[in-house]
């Protein structure tokens, strides 16, 4: 869960009212997977045992296998990359909040279960670029949501390739920013959000230097010799809107292009020059230009000093994970501390199971709307096994009141048919899903479902009393 920080801790900019603020850890990955299948083990990529523990994972992939047959099958069931991340993170208590797919572009967002009721108004969109926008071979996919009331947006891009297209890459990014819109009054566009993370295979190259100089600089660890010719760094000096995006120092080897299953740069006939094609940047709104000698990669939203709920973004790590070789790109990892004062810390809906739950009888639950929101008769309450993967990973569900919607603070009781309740014992949780917000906005405490007599009768467990003889 978020770690509370004393209010007396000093900050360089911004101000916090009394009442405390919280730090949440964000772990981001970008990886061009070059149509490969995922590795069996992604634990190094996710750094699962890091301290303090992660609260949010945002994973952006490019060139996920998107042949027509494969793409259609992935629309019907989760793709193999989503599966490996869900299977790895769910046992650790992370739930897939949402995902968005456009051909080879895939963006996944996971959150600790405790944060789910405070991630609201989730929306996704995508923009095709590439060859006249055809087949979505290039472009951007984005996810936006409110995190404890702070509007954040994640934009995963795959921009035009090749050395000579730096200007086209900037034009494509600008087009994506202009084309994407959301059905949210306060944040209709990407740059309206308080925090924007821009990442992906941005395809910027290292200009001018020859292959020998590039490789010798990399092998000797003198990466700083290459920064001045990095096209993204160069373009940022020319384009004011790019200057609003911050990036940590490129203190890791260029992540493109490698021979597969090796740490050797391209030895094919093309001998592509190494480049930092894979990047993670962020932007705070509004933004004060960072000083050139500011080593601390931190920035704060102050909304012209009037914001009572500022957010501080500090990058802890910006690196590549060289151990993965399934692609000709290496994945890039960035971790951030999001230090914020919450707009709210009460779920919109309070849910509790009533009495003992087992599959031997219908069960009861109570729910109460604690704050008015745009509820719907299409809202539902799901029964989830602790360690569930996504909002759709329920054991059973019940619709909320079918006709009139409940009043605030009115206690509503709903019956759950015993046929939908698991026969075996286990730890479960109830979640209220809002169709309008596209998110779980209320969770019960974890509770135990008891093993049913039907489980013995159906031979699912041994009968210690000999009743199955």
The domains of the chain are located at 22-287+305-340, 349-457
Compare 463 and 324 and report the one with higher pLDDT.
324
CA distances (Å), origin 218, targets 224, 232, 423: 9, 18, 59
Give 73's pLDDT tier (boundaries 50, 70, 90): low
CA 332 to chain centre: 15
Give residue for tokens 């769910």.
90
State residue 131's pLDDT score: 63
- Lowest mean pLDDT, pick from 16-20, 22-26, 207-211: 16-20
Q: What is the pLDDT of residues 188-246, one digit of tens each?
A: 999 999 999 999 999 999 999 999 999 999 999 999 999 999 999 999 999 999 999 99
State residue 12's pLDDT score: 26
| Token pair for 17 | 């009212």
Q: What is the pLDDT of residues 369-416, one digit of tens each?
A: 999 998 888 999 999 999 999 999 999 999 997 677 778 899 999 999
Give 467's pLDDT tier (boundaries 50, 70, 90): very low
State residue 9's pLDDT score: 31
Nearest partner of 243 among 252, 254, 234, judged by Cα: 234
Domain 22-287+305-340's class? alpha beta
What is the chain's length?
469
State residue 237's pLDDT score: 96
Q: What is the DSSP string of 148-195?
A: TTEEEEEEEEE---SGGGHHHHHHHHHHHHHH-B-S-SS--BGGGSSE
Compare 343 and 20 and report the one with higher pLDDT.
343
What is d(CA 170, CA 129) in angstroms, rounded to the nearest whole number? 12
Cβ(46)–Cβ(89) below 8 Å: yes
State residue 456's pLDDT score: 79
Nearest partner of 119 among 151, 88, 90, judged by Cα: 151
Q: At what angle do helices 231-238 and 166-179 cross, to 10 degrees?
A: 60
What is d(CA 281, CA 55) in angstroms, rounded to the nearest whole number? 19
CA distances (Å), origin 434, targets 109, 114, 184: 18, 17, 16
Give 137's pLDDT tier (boundaries 50, 70, 90): confident
First to last CA, the chain: 49
Q: What is the DSSP string of 262-287?
A: SS-B--STT-PPPB--EEEEEEESS-
Q: Is a pLDDT exceeding 80 seen at residue 289?
A: no
Bridge-based pairing of strands 363-369 and 380-385 is unpaired
Bridge-based pairing of strands 380-385 and 396-399 is antiparallel
Nearest partner of 197 among 83, 34, 35, 29, judged by Cα: 29
Percentages helix, strand, coil for the chain (3-state, rounded to 5) are: 20, 35, 45
Question: Are 22-287+305-340 and 349-457 in the same CATH fold?
Answer: no
Give 304's pLDDT tier (boundaries 50, 70, 90): very low
CATH placement of domain 349-457: 2.60.40.2840
Cβ(106)–Cβ(144) below 8 Å: no
What is d(CA 121, CA 202) in angstroms, rounded to the nearest whole number? 28
Cβ(180)–Cβ(142) below 8 Å: yes
**DSSP letter (8 states) at residue 306:** T
Share of the chain above pLDDT 70, in %: 86
State residue 320's pLDDT score: 98
What is d(CA 152, CA 190) in angstroms, rounded to the nearest whole number? 9
Cβ(338)–Cβ(26) below 8 Å: yes
- Mean pLDDT, the chain, integer: 88
Share of the chain above pLDDT 90, in %: 77
CA distances (Å), origin 464, targets 54, 205, 451: 43, 68, 13
What is d(CA 429, CA 420) in angstroms, rounded to the nearest whole number? 14
CA distances (Å), origin 242, targets 137, 175, 248: 23, 13, 14
What is the helix (H) or strand (E) element at residue 87, kind and residue range?
helix 80-89
What is d(CA 313, CA 21) in angstroms, rounded to the nearest whole number? 13
């Amino acid at each position: 869960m978020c770690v509370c920080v004393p209010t007396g801790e000093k900050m360089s900019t911004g101000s916090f009212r009394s009442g405390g603020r919280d730090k949440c850890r964000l772990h981001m990955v970008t990886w061009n997977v070059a149509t490969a299948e995922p590795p069996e083990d992604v634990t190094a990529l996710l750094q699962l045992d890091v301290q303090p523990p992660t609260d949010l994972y945002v994973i952006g992939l490019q060139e996920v296998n998107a042949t027509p047959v494969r793409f259609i099958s992935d629309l019907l069931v989760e793709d193999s990359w989503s599966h490996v991340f869900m299977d790895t993170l769910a046992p650790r208590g992370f739930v897939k909040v949402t995902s968005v797919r456009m051909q080879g572009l895939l963006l996944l967002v996971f959150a600790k279960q405790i944060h789910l009721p405070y991630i609201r108004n989730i929306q996704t969109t995508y923009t095709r670029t590439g060859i006249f926008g055809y087949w979505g071979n290039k472009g951007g996919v984005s996810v936006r949501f409110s995190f404890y009331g702070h509007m954040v947006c994640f934009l995963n891009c795959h921009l035009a390739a090749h050395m000579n297209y730096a200007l086209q890459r900037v034009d494509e990014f600008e087009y994506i920013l202009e084309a994407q819109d959301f059905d949210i009054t306060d944040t209709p566009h990407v740059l309206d959000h308080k925090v924007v993370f821009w990442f992906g295979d941005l395809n910027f190259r290292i200009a001018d230097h020859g292959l020998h100089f590039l490789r010798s600089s990399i092998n000797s660890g003198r990466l700083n010799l290459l920064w001045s010719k990095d096209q993204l760094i160069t373009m940022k000096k020319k384009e004011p809107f790019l200057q609003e995006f911050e990036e940590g120092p490129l203190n890791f080897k260029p992540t493109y292009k490698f021979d597969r299953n090796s740490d050797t740069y391209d030895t094919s006939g093309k001998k592509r020059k190494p480049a930092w094609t894979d990047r993670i940047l962020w932007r705070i709104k509004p933004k004060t230009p960072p000083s050139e000698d500011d080593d601390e990669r931190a920035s704060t939203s102050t909304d012209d000093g009037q914001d009572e709920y500022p957010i501080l973004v500090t990058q802890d790590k910006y690196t590549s994970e060289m151990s993965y070789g399934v692609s000709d790109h290496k994945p890039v990892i960035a971790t951030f501390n999001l230090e914020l004062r919450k707009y709210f810390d009460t779920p919109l809906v309070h849910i509790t199971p009533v009495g003992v739950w087992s599959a031997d009888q219908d069960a009861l639950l109570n729910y109460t709307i604690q704050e008015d929101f745009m509820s719907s008769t299409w809202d539902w309450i799901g029964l989830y096994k602790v360690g569930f993967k996504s909002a759709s990973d329920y054991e059973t569900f019940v619709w909320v009141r079918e006709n009139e919607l409940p009043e605030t603070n009115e206690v509503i009781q709903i019956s759950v048919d015993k046929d939908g309740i698991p026969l075996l014992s286990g730890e479960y949780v109830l979640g209220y899903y809002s169709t309008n917000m596209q998110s779980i906005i209320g969770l019960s405490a974890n509770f135990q479902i008891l093993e049913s007599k039907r489980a013995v009768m159906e031979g699912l467990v041994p009968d210690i009393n000999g009743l199955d003889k």
